[in-house]
Amino acid sequence: MMISGERFIVTYLVSGSEQEALAKAKDICIEQTVEFPPYLIPAGFIQDEILGRIESFEAHNQDYKVRISYAVETTANELTQLLNVIFGNISIKPGIRVEHLEFPPALLRNYKGPRFGKEGIRTLLGITERPVLFTALKPMGLSAEQLADLAYKFALGGIDVIKDDHGLTDQCFAPFAERVHLCAAAVDKANKETGSRSIYVANITAPYGQVSKRARVAKEFGAGGLMVAPALVGFDCMRELAENDDIALPLFSHPAFIGSYVTYSQNGLSHQALFGQVMRLAGADVVIYPNFGGRFSFSQTECEAIARAAAAPMAGIKEILPAPGGGMSIQRVPELHAVYGNDVMFLIGGGLFQHGPDIVENCRYFRSMLNSMDQYRKEG
């Protein structure tokens, strides 16, 4: 059997003493590929090519950093199987964390990544430089008409991207088609009045057979983007949406149900590997994640690492936009701008209701926080 010899590398942080960590590293090589008693692994092709290979092993703070390479062919050019090789069985073994991924062009050329990416989103919105203003339609329980009214006000107040809250799917009190129809029309109406190019993003996190259907319905009704939670629909569902030429809308990934992969530093994937590298490979144009200092647990360092991974070179895979949110307030915009720079979407949901009783005015205040910063006056 001849294979290419091309390999990708996963950096794992492994806990324990040096001896324990080395044993774990050798175990990972087996567990993620042949899953077979070591002394019975067939010599030749399987031992030489299929088995994971330790490329480096070194102490790192209290842990050990191990780089393990795998043959590209073990992944069958499938995102599902790539994730399985990276972290399938060892997800069940404590003390192993995926820290970083190194993909060679031989692997990346099988993935298209995001269709729009950072630049595509900017072009679509007509925003050349400044951060993008982003909010969510909520609370669950409002009718489609009420949500559309909110969407109209958000757009009128200058919010660039208005998405469904991730809990809005197809509930009887705001059915999908009706909600998407009314919300897209409401944003369009506001755009005609203001001359802006705001978009409405429909949540299409849905049962397996419904995702593509809802994507098509949303596009038909004029949605400007689509949101899915990959932990609920599968990462590869997002990839397929990104590659679908009939849909061709920007994709927003939502972190619902994904937290367990990052919550404990001794297990799962690092913030940058999961929200930066995996989401990007899986076709997200915008990655939504909980910002530091909000009501979730990510640290500033972790959030900055996500933003860096969203923009790091990735052989032909487009840069994407980080969208930190979750318990954010308008007042934090200057602070967050200092951290993230321009290539960011500020997602303020509930906080946009808290500034004052008039939603449109609150949005204008949010917008003014950007305009007050010198470098954006020209786009104000």
Site for a second copy in 161-220 (CB under 8 A): 165-167, 169-173, 205-210
Q: With binding defined as CB under 8 A, does residue 36 bind a second copy?
A: yes
- Is residue 42 a contact point for a second copy (CB under 8 A)? yes
Q: Report yes or no: 70 and 11 within 8 Å, Cβ to Cβ.
A: no
Under the binding rule (CB under 8 A), the answer on residue 92 touching a second copy is: yes
CB of 254 to a second copy, least distance (A): 9
Burial class (CB in 10 A: 0-12, 13-18, 19+), 209: exposed
> Smallest gap, in angstroms, from Cβ of residue 237 to a second copy?
5
Phi/psi at 313 (nearest 5 deg)?
-55, 140
288, β-bridge pairs: 323
Q: Are 287 and 299 in contact (CB under 8 A)?
A: no
Figure out which of the listed residues 113, 250, 255, 276 binds a second copy, where binding follows CB under 8 A. 255
Q: Which stretch binds a second copy (CB under 8 A): 61-69, 262-270, 338-346, 366-374?
A: 262-270
Q: Please tell me the count of residues contacting a second copy according to CB under 8 A.
A: 89
Is 328 one of the binding residues for a second copy (CB under 8 A)? no
CA 152 to chain centre: 26
User: What is the secondary structure of 294-345 as a DSSP string?
Assistant: SSS---HHHHHHHHHHHHS--TTPPP-EEEEESS--GGGHHHHHHHH-SS-E
Q: Does 143 bind a second copy (CB under 8 A)?
A: yes
Residue 353 buriedness (CB in 10 A; 0-12 / 13-18 / 19+) = middle
Nearer CB in complex with a second copy: 88/222? 88
| One of 9, 22, 41, 185 touching a second copy (CB under 8 A) | 41
Binding range to a second copy, per CB under 8 A, among 59-67, 80-88, 113-121, 316-324: 80-88
Q: Which residues contact 196 (CB under 8 A, 6 or more apart)?
A: 155, 158, 160, 190
Residue 278 as a binder of a second copy (CB under 8 A): the answer is no
User: Does residue 248 bind a second copy (CB under 8 A)?
Assistant: no
